[in-house]
Structure formats: structure tokens, C-alpha cells
Structure 1
């Protein structure tokens, strides 16, 4: 399957949110509440890009970046620099409205509980002589109690592969129950994807092709529409179960690589094709019923996927200009290159990448039409409903529905309001998410 991706120095320890107004550690860490306005100016200075001689890295100690903690978690910030002298540089860390600085590295911060919204963490390096700012980066952090346990959640590119699917795009903390054991759960073992769903259309195709022979069934086990009747389904059930679970490992690998939920990926395939790839429908192909226009949208909105696939044909230097900045004829070549994966084991990666692209489109739609951050107006499930609606019904359907559903006097973008504006050919998006989830878990 093709793959595309995504020393003995002083250390200090400080408890967030529980410090006095001014604190200085023996190693030079300084916190001063009265300097926040001036420090905000420093934090917002333009970042120096030339050569970047220095930066900062962050590492989680005592806990996973996204998981339950047996000990109090700590964040270790380390100065990364070229050369032997780092004395010219000061590390800055701002957690919420509190700012800390240290001329020494590494710096270890003990994390305290946050509210459900979490806090923003920003960090950067400043040159003491030139006042230039280097390596500025940020992430969101939430550390909350769940029953008798504590869970740490970090939303940042550094932990992209650990974050529940879509959450980093939308900068949102999902409900615990959804990613712990629900449709958004990260699947490590392909056997967790096993399902035993009576796909009657698939059963009908297996009978029609002679893979299953229902000798004791009337009408050869088939209904007039080609689906298996009750007897035919019973005769084909064992083969149907094997068929729908045959590529669980490919689905799991594609989902991890594309950063989408494996269960939703499997559910999309179940809903679109019932795991039968040879349906003869106008301009729709394969297990995910992909269209050439759908692949065009995939290449527009999933930049990492575009760059990987484009580089295989035209080279990395050429492809850095972006999909929309290459000639139409070369876009057509790329679309055809992707479409050739339909019907092969690489198709699972294409479908997964298309779902990820739909999440990016959902982010744009909500941000553009509400003029708000998606996490501020919609919950995690609603954003996934919009994303799968984009995959199934298209960008136009979902953008029109969100535009018409948004009420500036309201602070919430509710799915029931969006669904009420999905009319005509867009109507099938209303319960598409529910059907996918139904096919994703047994």
C-alpha cells in the first residue's frame, strides 16, 4: 500500500495556576503578572525566518499526549540551537494569561487542572541582544478529571497522530466517550473493526456471480431489485461476513495514515457500496463511490495528499506551488493517476484521504459562514456530520445549508437547523452520518 504522511543543563519545575504574582527559581525562571501587557507585545512580534538558528521543542513527561495519567503530567521545553553558546537566548512560555521565561534549558512545567475549555500555550525564543523572535509555536491543553482518573489532551501539530480525528483541524476537545469507545475511537487492532452486518445487496451480488449457491431458496434467493431475499441472505451470510471484514487491516492502516476514524471509514464503505466495488453507476466508482470531481476536491483540500501524489509524477519542487497553481491538463493527469487506484488495495487510502479533505472543507464552511471558530459554534459530532455531508452530497449542499442555518443572534450551529435546509438532491445528507455510524459498529 502506498504511504503518504503526514546535555547537563539546569532544569526547573513550576506548578501552573498556583504561583504568587512574582516567582524566581534558582535557575532563573521568572514569572511576573505585572509584565503581561508588555510581554503580549513581544509575543506578537513577527517571527524571524532567516536561518532560524534556534527554536524550542516540547515533550510530555509522565503521561501520553492524549490519555489518562497515572502521575501528574509535566511539559519539558528544550532549547534547540546551532553552535555551542546558547546564553544569548531566553525561552518564553505563556500559559493562558501567565507568562514565564528562562535563560536556561530544559524547562519542566508541572500541569494543573484546567476547565473544560482548556488553555492556550504559546512558546518562543528571544535573542537577548537583537530582540529577534524565533521558533514561535502554540497548542491548546486540557487537563481534567474524569471520574477518579485524570486525562491530558493536547491539541498541537506535535501530537497530530495521537489526537482524535478532526479535533486538530477544528481545534476542539471531543467528548471522552466518543473517542474512548465510540465511532471516533483510535483502532490499534484490525479485529476491532469486525462487523456482522446483513448486507443484502452484497449477498445478492455474491449469489448472482455464483460465489454463493442458495440451492434451497426460491427465486434463487433473490428479490426483484437484485438484493438477497431472507433465504438468500441466510445462505450467503457466512460469505458476506467474511467479505466485509476481509480488508480490515487495510482500512485500519489507511485511517491511521489519513487521520480519520477507522470505524467511520468502514461505515462509509458499507453505506456507499456494501463492500462491492463493481457497481455500474454513472461517473461513480469503487467502494467509496468516488467521482472525478470528488478526487479534484480531494487534491484541492488535502494538501499533504496532493503533495505526495503530485511529487511522484512531477517532482517535489514543482508541486510546492499547490494544486490550483498547476495547469488544468496536469490537474487532469493527477486526477486520472488517483482514479487508477480504484479497485486496488490503495483505494482505501484514497477514500480516507477524501474524508480528511471533507473535514478541512467543513472547517472552512463553518468558519466562513459564521465568522467564528468552528469549536466555538458547533460540537464535535456536528462537525463530523457536516464533513460526511460534504463527502456524500458535496460542498455546495453543505455550504448552503450552513449559510441558511446560521443565526447571528445564536451562538450555536445545531445539526437540526442545518438538516432543515438540506433539500432536494441534498436531502440524503440528513441521515448520512447516522447510517455510516450504524454500519461502523456491530
Structure 2
């Protein structure tokens, strides 16, 4: 999820931004209704592009894409009998060989849609565009919900410790639910960002454990219910990214998102924030405007392309991430 290149900057900005979470609504908003992200944008959009629309049925999310990493996971987990393929359908590096890819074609199509009902349910309850939620999962994990603890990337959304920080700081109801797990049903009286580091570490660990679908006793080694839980946490984290992105925009420019960006470009920035972190987004915004004053360009001069061009080399994955997300939604 979050880039490690800017780890110190990300941690610092999480603390600075977190100090303002109680007052995030101080940013002027004019949205009449809608979910967290629309309110955070600051204006009710007059038109919404297809990729940000709500889906009506599970079939509206159905995809039939090729996912080679997912193919390899289906083979290595034993969910598909690969005895007919050389080397059980796998290359020495663990990737699927040609026979393995062909053998898994049908099941890859089935598996990539198995979380669609959950994506639709939690997208509706969190007022998020389900195509975006599914695209994030596709890019992050190719729908395989098990954890990679070595890299510190957990669940369908490949959440990191920084992602756990993000959702715990900006989603107070979810934060309190984790507190109750940690402290025998008791809520936390202190905001997450003001807790001592040991308690923060405990709560981050609980978030990541909650979405780790690795299960040695389960079929294929994955717990599908934990996968469904990871979808819920992902939607909470995307809402948190909307809230944080609005604050980052305000700190960098002195303006609300709606004063600078279209709703579509705002969502691109939110997703870049989810992936690369607040440090990368803040720096790009400052470079796009005037880093020495609040005399930033007018809205007509701001768009996602101008911001993306100002991501530093260490943050370049933020811009590339949006291209990959859009490739899933608009192939």
C-alpha cells in the first residue's frame, strides 16, 4: 500500500495531520449530502464519471481479466490440480508457467469476482464507488487475501503499518472498535495520534491481524471470511484517505479540494495518497503551486496531470499507481 521511500516524512506528516483530525471539518465544505469522500471534496458534483458511479448489481462489477499472480497462488495453494503441467504449472521463481496460466484461466475469472457481493455491500454502506474499491484490490493483491508479513503488506488491500495509522487516526468509530478488542470492551479516551508508541503498535497489529486471511487449516490456506473483513477495512481506509487528502490539500494550498480540482481528479489524488502517502502528495502539491506562498494557481490551471508531474522520483509510484488503477477500470 504505502511507499516506504518516504517513511520518515510519512510518519511525521501522519502525526502533524493527525493533530488536526478533530477539526478537519474546519476546511470549508458546501456538499449538501453524500458520503465522507463527497463531503471531504467540499461540493456536490454536478456530474460523476462512470468509474465513480455506484453499481446496482454484482454483475456490474464482473471482470474477466488475466491475473498471473493469482494464477500462481491458485496453483501453489493446491486449489487447482496442476499435475498435468510441467513442474506443477510453476516456474522456479514461483510464477505460473504457460501451462499453469492456461490451466487456471477459468478459475482466475471465478476467483476475481468472488468478493464482488462484499465489495458492493461495503461500498454502499461507506458511500464509495465500488469499481474503485475493486480496482484497488486488483492492483494491490490480484484478489489473493493472504498476508506477506515479510514485506509487511496484509490482506486484499495490502495494508501496511502506515495504512493502519491512517485508518486509526481518521476513522474514529473504527478506531474505537479496535480499542475495545484490545482493552476488553473498553473504549479509548485518547486520540490515536496521542497514544504512546507501544499502544499504537498494539493497535496497528490488531488491525493487520484482523485482515490477515492466512489460514493453514483452511482450504487453499486462506480464510475467505477474513478476506471479506479486509474489504470492510479497505473501504474505511479509503474514506480515511479522502479525509486526510482534504487536509493535505488545505495545508499545501490554503484551499478546499473543490476550489482546485474536479471531483475525478480529487479521487486520483486520494488514491495516490492511499498508495504513496501524505508526504508524497503534500510535496507534489507544493511544487505544483508556489512553495513559498499561498498564491497558488487558479482551478483552471490545476489537474491531476500537473500534480502527477511534480511527484519526486522517490514518489513516482504514486502517479504510476493511478495509471494501473485506471487500467483496471477502463481497460
Q: What's the TM-score once normalised by structure 2's chain length? A: 0.76
When normalised by structure 1's length, the TM-score is 0.58
**Equivalence for 2:229:** 346
Correspondent of 2:73 among 184, 188, 205: 205
Q: Verify the 8 A CA contact 1:307 1:320 in the aligned structure 2.
A: no
Note if contact 2:71-2:96 (Cα within 8 Å) is conserved in structure 1.
Answer: yes
Distance 2:268 2:207 in 1: 26
1:343-382 to 2 correspondence within 5 Å?
Answer: 343=213, 344=226, 345-382=228-265
- Are 1:307 and 2:190 matched, yes or no? no
Cα RMSD (Å):
2.7
Cα displacement (A) at 1:176: 2.3
Which stretches in structure 1 are left out of the alignment for 5+ residues? 1-137, 141-154
In the TM superposition, what are the counterparts of 1:399-414 in structure 2 within 5 Å? 399-407=282-290, 408=295, 410-412=297-299, 413-414=302-303
Greater fraction helix: 2
Please state how far the C-alpha of 1:168 moved relative to its aligned partner: 1.2
Asked if 1:174 corresponds to 2:63, the answer is no
CA distance in 2 between partners of 1:382 and 1:212 (Å)? 41
1:278: how far off?
3.1
Separation in 2, partners of 1:409, 1:253 = 40
Q: How many residues align?
A: 283
Deviations 1:53-109 (A, max 9, x none): xxxxxxxxxxxxxxxxxxxxxxxxxxxxxxxxxxxxxxxxxxxxxxxxxxxxxxxxx
Which residue does the alignment assign to 1:329? Answer: 198
Paired residues of 2:29 and 2:42 also in contact (CA < 8 A): no
Q: Is the 8 A contact 1:365 1:399 kept in 2?
A: yes
Higher strand share: 1
Determine the C-alpha separation between the residues in 1 that align with 2:147 and 2:206. Answer: 21
- Gapped regions of structure 2 (runs ≥ 5): 1-27, 214-225
Cα drift, residue 320 of structure 1: 5.0
Contact kept in structure 2, 1:273 and 1:288, CA below 8 Å: yes
Question: In 2, Cα distance between the equivalents of 1:289 and 1:416?
Answer: 26
1:240 aligns with 2:129: no
Structure number with greater CO (CA < 8 Å, separation at least 6) is 2
The Cα of 1:256 is off from its aligned counterpart by 2.3
The 1-side partners of 2:190 and 2:296 are apart by: 40
1:110-160 Cα distance to aligned partner (Å, 9 max, x none): xxxxxxxxxxxxxxxxxxxxxxxxxxxx984xxxxxxxxxxxxxx33xx44
Q: 1:218 Cα deviation (Å)?
A: 5.2
